[in-house]
Amino acid sequence: MSQLKEAKSALISVFSKDGLEPIARKLNELGVTIYSTGGTEKFIKNLGIDVIPVEDVTSYPSILGGRVKTLHPKVFGGILNRQENEGDVKELEEYEIPQIDIVIVDLYPFEKTVASGASEQDIIEKIDIGGISLIRAAAKNFKDVTCVSSVDDYQEFLDLLNEKGGKTSLSDRKRFATKAFNISSHYDSAIFNYFNKDGEVNSFKQSELKGKELRYGENPHQKGTFFGDFDAIFDKLHGKELSYNNLLDVDAAVNLMNEFKGEAPTFAILKHNNACGLAQRDTIKQAYVDALAGDPVSAFGGILISNMEINAETAEEIHKLFCEVVIAPSYSEEALEILKGKKNRIILIQKGTELPKDQVRTCLNGVLVQEKDLKTDALEDLQQATSNKPSEEELSDMIFASKICKHTKSNTIVLAKNKQLCASGTGQTSRVDALKQSIEKARSFKFDLKGAVMASDAFFPFPDCVEIAGNEGITAVIQPGGSIKDQLSIDYCNENNIAMVMTGARHFKH
């Protein structure tokens, strides 16, 4: 174990005073000299604790409306000096610079100010200069200085003070320095991304302060970690810890159900990021029952999501199924008690938090960034391609099917009827294979495809798909269009009384 170093002085300058009192009192009890500034100085003084104003050290007042308080050689010299360097020690004595062993600083709440919708002037004023400089200086000199840079670390630091009586090891100080650079790099990334919101500088910076180690990654031999604020999106009410695969499925479920936000009761069941059941009905119970009917085999171990509160009678139906996760905006008390009947079942309340609009994934030795596919096909987007006009019911079903198609792995074909997913072909290397897969699946669960609609995520290069669909009794088709051979599919539909509309928007999902 490395030799312990005793702290004799501390500089405290924080924006938020939450949790500071017990630390200030402990430092005072240990005989540590405390230096401070402005509001923090006043806060500590009001606790009845002796504190030396930084102005007494620098002989300069806080100037420029508080923009410059600690940016002075007598402050930074006290932090950055190398205590084993004779030249540094002599200069401290020559210039009457006090040694500083602990720096406790937090930063102006830049991200919260941006999120609040504040004016640009207010946002700019929340770019911390002195604080970030103190953090970097103290963290750089971790050999001699302990840097506490976040309220989240106060308890750990207080425990350390109590455990070791104000002394720290080199590994303690290096650990806090690591935390400090995590804070400072995240802060700078947030500022850059604010200034670069129009993307004028072609650079990628993404930072997440919160990380949670998962049991494993996609497979047991892989390590996995989730970086993000899960609690900002969900309240977890019950169940085991979410796995890597659970999180991917939950993400897919939330993005899919966003398409049906504010609509009639809608229920979806997902497996491996794809919907295996989805229905929209007059009641949420019936929506669940009909979603399950879409593929009761794949639903085993699936992710369930509702666009409205789950009541007791729906919960009773759900409870008959083994499922990993249930997601809803709310639950009745009785429903919650029923669903908690399986101890490992994960129950989530989805909050109204807005999801990111960009999508990021690793690629080769870098990352790919794109805007999310936020285009939802609507009635006003549809161009009638055939002389056969679709009925109102077919139009409604085509929009319904298109929403599912957009969130299904390509190549995909989705078959739907009466606001119910009959089947989908997912992740196939050819569109014909996707269609054949969906037809075979629909047949296996006894769906009558006469009068059903077909949605495709991309255009038909040949008329084979509409021919196969027509032979199954499918009467309407929605697709992006754009093939140089579109007319071949249109001609077949016209000749066989099939309605076709084109959206002009492809929805590949890889």
**Helix axis angle, 86-94 to 73-80, nearest 10°:** 150
Catalytic residue among 45, 272, 319, 375: 272
Rounded-to-integer distance, Cα 302 and Cα 252, Å: 12
357 is catalytic: no
Q: Is residue 186 annotated as part of the catalytic site, yes or no? A: no
Helical axes 21-29 vs 154-164, angle rounded to 10°: 20
Query: Would you say 433 and 418 are in contact if contact means Cβ atoms under 8 Å apart?
Result: no
Which H/E stretch holds residue 125? Answer: helix 120-125
Spatial distance between the Cα atoms of 84 and 334, rounded to a whole number of angstroms = 67
Burial class of residue 205 in the structure, from the number of CB atoms within 10 Å of its CB (0-12 exposed, 13-18 middle, 19+ buried): middle
Q: How many CB atoms lie within 10 A of CB 59?
A: 8
Cβ pair 453, 477 in contact under 8 A: yes
Q: How many CA atoms lie within 13 A of 431 on its CB side?
A: 21
CA atoms within 13 A on the CB side of 69: 22
Two structure tokens written together for 216: 């494993």
Among the listed residues 45, 140, 236, 319, the single catalytic one is 140
Helix axes 464-471, 486-495, angle to 10 degrees: 20
- Active-site annotation, residues: 140, 272
